[in-house]
Amino acid sequence: MKKCLVIGGRGFIGSQIVNDLESSGYDVDIPERGDVSFFQTSYDAIVYAAGYGVCTKPIDVIEANVNFFNEVLFKANYEHLIYISSTRLYMSTPNTNEEIDLHVPQNDERKLFNLSKLVSEEVARLSGKNVTVIRPSNVYGTALNSNLFLPMIIKNALTHNKIDMYVEPEYEKDYVSLDDVSRFVIKCVNDGFKYFNVYNVASGVNVSAKSIAEIIQQETNCQVNWHDGFVGEVFTPINIDKSKRNYSFKPKHLLDELPGIISGFKEALSKQAN
């Protein structure tokens, strides 16, 4: 039986990866925060699914996204390391294939997050170790406690019968299913790819705030309030040709999934209330 370690294995993405690895027959360890005793154990694969994105807390961003990752990269014993990065690195770029030159917009208030991911990706590339970097887009699923855009507006529609939209209706970005991200990780673990490689894991199609709001309104009969202000970042559609070619990646699409996601939120909120 192959042995895996999932750092961040109790988080939104990590917990799904743990479930899917165990279902595939892997022996999976999940370290507690601050516990580095796993440095003494050998693993077939380590998945680094930990991360921090609140850039008003820069020390925490650097510790989670750079410092601890680099400890794992150089001190842990493994055959293959998978690092969860982000397609946010492509913000404002005209091309989104994995080999494109990346730039960090000066006016981006969350540029520290991008920089931290870039640093860790580059150190992994230079390390000479077997590392696969996965850049997921905006991951969706039933995440009741998330303060991200999509789960927040679904919760507000269900609990307050209204959603307040502080972006332009045309604001759009890519969303990828949690299941698709996890399954892609499992394929990478199974493959055990040698050397360094990077893959975009996304739907490949941008979805507008307006189209999301329309479906939520249809499913919940909530009121939608559009507010002037934030126009939103510019995201070029994510190129997933490499993932399709090498791993036969066939992603789901948010607008097809959204009614089912809303039903999942309804069920979870009902259980939470009881």
Q: Measure the CA–CA gap between 58 and 79, rounded to whole angstroms.
A: 31
More confident residue, 232 or 3: 3
For the chain, how many residues are written?
A: 274
Q: What are the extents of the domains in the chain?
A: 3-273
Which pLDDT tens digit goes with each residue over 172-188? Answer: 999 999 999 999 999 99
Which pLDDT tens digit goes with each residue over 62-73? Answer: 999 999 999 999
Q: Measure the CA–CA gap between 147 and 150, rounded to whole angstroms.
A: 8
pLDDT surpassing 70 at residue 230: no
**Threshold 0.75, pTM exceeds:** yes
Which pLDDT tens digit goes with each residue over 86-137? Answer: 999 998 889 999 999 998 888 888 999 999 999 999 999 999 999 999 999 9
In this structure, are residues 87 and 93 in contact, taking their beta carbons and an 8 Å threshold?
A: no
Question: Which residue, among 176, 172, 236, 179, has the nearest Cα to 202 in the 3D structure?
Answer: 176
Give every strand in the sheet of 77-84, ordered side by side: 27-29, 3-7, 42-48, 77-84, 131-136, 196-201
pLDDT more than 90, % of the chain: 80
Q: Measure the CA–CA gap between 102 and 226, rounded to whole angstroms.
A: 33
Q: Measure the CA–CA gap between 114 and 53, rounded to whole angstroms.
A: 9
SS3 77: strand
In this structure, are residues 185 and 224 in contact, taking their beta carbons and an 8 Å threshold?
A: no
Cα separation of the two ends of the chain: 40
Q: Measure the CA–CA gap between 91 and 70, rounded to whole angstroms.
A: 25
Which pLDDT tens digit goes with each residue over 1-29? Answer: 799 999 999 999 999 999 999 999 999 99
Taking each helix axis from N to C terminus, what angle separates 178-191 and 12-23, rounded to the nearest 10 degrees? 50
Phi/psi at 72 (nearest 5 deg)? -60, -45
The dihedral region occupied by 118, where left means phi > 0, alpha psi between -120 and 50, and beta the remainder, is alpha
Residues 6+ apart with CB under 8 A from 109: 55
What CATH architecture does domain 3-273 belong to?
3-Layer(aba) Sandwich (3.40)
